[in-house]
Amino acid sequence: MARVKRGVVAHRKHRSIIARAKGYRDSKKLLFKPANEAVLHALAYAFRDRRQRKRDFRRLWVTRINAATRDAGLPYNLFMHGLRQAGVEIDRKVLADLAVRDSGSFARLVEVAKSHL
């Protein structure tokens, strides 16, 4: 069986890893082994944080809604319960946006929630 020399393939792989590590600091952008480790870590963090981002935004929306409803004299859980009882199906993302940008509409939603409690 013939011997397989991997020079071209290995060089291409090294070059692609070094290209992905562009912008990293010190030897992580210059040498293959540190660059490979850094790229693998970055990919793992990216995978993890795509899921984490969804949690973070939901926490942010809940916090904003809670702050706005407490100003209107109603805690978050009762506000959400009142909306559910009223049959209002607006998600937290839109509610948080209304709380920040359009306080008049949000105040009407708070009144709807209060009336259905």
Q: Note the pTM of the prediction, 2 decimals.
A: 0.81
pLDDT value at residue 35: 98
Q: Is 2 contained in some domain? A: no
Q: How many domains does the chain have?
A: 1
- Is the residue at 65 inside a domain? yes
pLDDT of residue 87: 95
Domain CATH number, residue 111 = 1.10.1900.20
**What's CA 110's distance to the chain center, in Å?**
27
C-alpha angle with apex 86: 80 to 90, nearest 5 degrees? 55
* Residue 110 domain boundaries: 7-115
> What pLDDT score was predicted for residue 66?
97
User: Quick check: is 16 in a domain?
Assistant: yes
Query: Each residue of 7-54: pLDDT tens digit?
Result: 999 999 999 999 999 999 999 999 999 999 999 999 999 999 999 999
The amino acid that residue 59 corresponds to is R
**Sign of torsion over alpha carbons 67, 72, 74, 76:** negative
